[in-house]
Amino acid sequence: MKKTLLVAVNARFSHTNLAVRSLKLALDAAGIPAAFVEYTINQPVREILADIVSRAPGRLLFSCYIWNIRQVEQLGSEFRALFPDIPILLGGPEVSFDPEDRLARYGWADGILCGEGEPILAQVLSEPHPRGIFRASRFADLDALPFPYSDLTSLPNRVLYYESSRGCPYGCSYCLSSADRTVRFRSLPLVFDDLQKLLDARVMQVKFVDRTFNLRPDRASAIWQYLAAHDNGYTSFQMELGGDLTTPDQLRLLQTVRPGLFQFEIGVQSTCAAALAAAARPTDLQTLRDNVCTVGAFGNIHQHLDLIAGLPLEGFERFAQSYDEVFAMRPHQLQLGFLKLLRGSRLYEQREQYGLVYSETPPYEILQTPQLSFHEICRIKRVEEMTELYYNSGRFQNQLACLLRDCPSPFRMFLALGERIPAQNVGKYACYDLLFTFAVEQGCDPEVFSWLMRLDLCLHERPRRLPEHCAAGNEPRRRLLLPGKPGPQEWVELFPFDPLDPQHPQQETLVRFDYTLRDPFGNASCTKIEPSQSA
């Protein structure tokens, strides 16, 4: 029997695909020869096709998502042209909710698997040439699934995905998870055993794919306690939380964990009550805000908050308010996304009711609504770009703090900045100079801002090359005061103010930046040092 090749086309090289690993193990258990292979959407399709052909598969099964469906369509079509008799099957969320239409459209595909693949894949592949639509009639038993990673030693710098539960109890109308509202959990002893394997292998990062990790507070607390107690000092774990579900006891626990051990992603989506109601997403915004700000004050957990532009009933001005209110929580990253009308979601069925105009090509982004014009969406895109470049990168934090100090609306500030900066990509150091010019126009002191630029540079790298407007520094004075030569992963800078004091008092200060020790947000460790006695 020729082997089945399970193909994943990931969004990035650092990502791993959980589905193909789990399905391979299901086929192994059934005695069906199988292998999996991973590529990325950045690889040329012809290069991927050549590699697939070189593996001489007897059957192909593609894992399909909105980010890779265009590559899968070309790969499937061209593989079929080369090998008319080899079965090609598809699975995954992008093809599961309209399988009849997909199969009719894809003349090169033989079949589509809908739902969870582990219970049915072996049976489907027991046929010599499976054709048609195959629907799972039952859910997988999560306790019966083996640990998915047999190749941990080959994944030293990758992001590994892990699930301790499947399903979601909520009915958010824009999300495909609302189609499956039966939540199932893997037993905690098995979860602990799985997590210990990941800890022992010292993997870089583990992302839980649980839809709402803290749905059961006692369960979430037990996993957090286990990870804190068995922390290897290196691996980080990311979870998607319901921001309004975190309990006071959990907050006390989270305050004690190692900086960088946990990263939280919280979908706020909007602060507009009408938009949240239309999206069927009930949220206690005040509790969410309190929890986010409390965790932020701990300083040990990276928080990533999500917003969605284009939700029904939220116009440009109201979205600007949502942005500013979420920004005020000071997340470490603010992910500004745009509504996607996914087939199978309730909002897709309600698109005419709400007057939603969207793109029919992946990722099916909203183009306009009765409350939000296409032009306004394009303007919000500029805010997204500036947020990603200047805020989420973490490389401009002191400059932004200065710029935003007296700014009533971060949304308006990033919009004005985005409409000043050329649309095409600019170099890393040019970004500093563009921000400087904008800041001076907004009334910032040029000398102060140039020194804050130097501080932000030093926090991330030795200042070998400087933007045009960066403070040149007082090199003779620095050398005179320097008590010793910095190491290869260090830098000592002389500032005319104390950069480690939030008030930045005017006093000459020597600061050592240690690039071997960074906080969870990428900043070098900083310490003030005494000047040389000989000075």
SS3 track for 340-359: ECCCCCHHHHCCCCCCCEEC
Chain segment 98-128, per-residue pLDDT in tens = 899 999 999 999 999 999 999 999 999 998 8
What's the CA dihedral at 350, 354, 355, 361 to 10 degrees? -50
Q: Where are the domains of the chain?
A: 4-135, 142-372, 428-529
CA-CA distance, 379 to 386, in Å (whole number)?
11
> Rounded to the nearest 5°, which phi and psi values hold at 383?
-65, -40
- pLDDT at residue 534, as a whole number: 47
What is the band of 504 on the pLDDT scale with cuts at 50, 70, 90? confident
Work out the mean pLDDT of the chain and round it to a whole number. 94
What is the band of 179 on the pLDDT scale with cuts at 50, 70, 90? low
Chain segment 284-331, per-residue pLDDT in tens = 999 999 999 999 999 999 999 999 999 999 999 999 999 999 999 999
What letter would DSSP give residue 532? P
Chain segment 219-270, per-residue pLDDT in tens = 999 999 999 999 999 999 999 999 999 999 999 999 999 999 999 999 999 9
Chain segment 467-482, per-residue pLDDT in tens = 999 998 888 888 888 8
- pLDDT at residue 231, as a whole number: 98
Whether 520 has a pLDDT exceeding 90, the answer reads: no
The CATH code of the domain at 4-135 is: 3.40.50.280
Determine what percent of the chain is predicted with pLDDT higher than 70: 98
Number of helices (H), then strands (E), belonging to the chain: the values are: 19, 19
User: In the numeric block, which tokens belong to residue 308?
Assistant: 């969605």
Q: Strand 4-10 and strand 59-63: pairing?
A: parallel
Pair 7, 36: CB distance under 8 Å: yes
- What is the arithmetic mean of pLDDT over 391-401? 95
- pLDDT at residue 178, as a whole number: 61
Q: What is the CA radius of gyration of the chain?
A: 26
- pLDDT at residue 182, as a whole number: 87
Chain segment 429-454, per-residue pLDDT in tens = 899 999 999 999 999 999 999 999 99
Report yes or no on whether pTM surpasses 0.75.
yes
Chain segment 81-99, per-residue pLDDT in tens = 999 999 999 999 999 988 9
Whether 535 has a pLDDT exceeding 70, the answer reads: no
- Assigned architecture for domain 142-372: Alpha-Beta Horseshoe (3.80)
> Rounded to the nearest 5°, which phi and psi values hold at 57?
-75, 150
